[in-house]
Amino acid sequence: MSLRSALDRLLGRSEPSSPAPSGGGGRAAAVAHLEEFVRTRVGVEAYVEPPNAQTPSTVLLVATTGEWTRRRVPDERTGFEVARSLGVPVYNVRFTGYPQRMRDWNSAQRQERKGR
């Protein structure tokens, strides 16, 4: 099974060749985005975030530079499965917290925006 097929299955598409369910275009875009992020960055790790009052569960990918991206997943279990399918280490953010390199990257981005 290809990585794309595995991710499609994990994100709710029973058959990769079947038409996407409602919102499936968003799923395909999310999968493509996560794959691209992992492929084009070094040392990517995943952090699964629990749902809260405003958002469902998410998977957060963080590169060694601190650059990050986040995408929604149906539930935490799926977040772990997606990360494993991408071949990256995966952590539960409730237990590990966010990596310092991500906070440093966010601070640097804020400073850069202020300097413009």
Segment 63-105, tens digit of pLDDT: 999 999 999 999 999 999 999 999 999 999 999 999 999 999 9
**3: pLDDT strictly greater than 90:** no
Residue 42 CA, distance from chain mean position: 15
Domain locations in the chain? 3-115
Residue 100 CB neighbour total at 10 angstroms: 9
Task: Kindly report the pTM of this predicted structure.
Answer: 0.79
Q: In the prediction, which pLDDT does 7 show?
A: 64
- Is residue 62 a contact partner of residue 102, using CB atoms and an 8 Å limit? yes
Q: How far is CA 111 from CA 67, 69, 102, 107, in A?
A: 15, 19, 14, 6
For residues 67 and 73, what is the distance between their CA atoms, to the nearest angstrom?
20
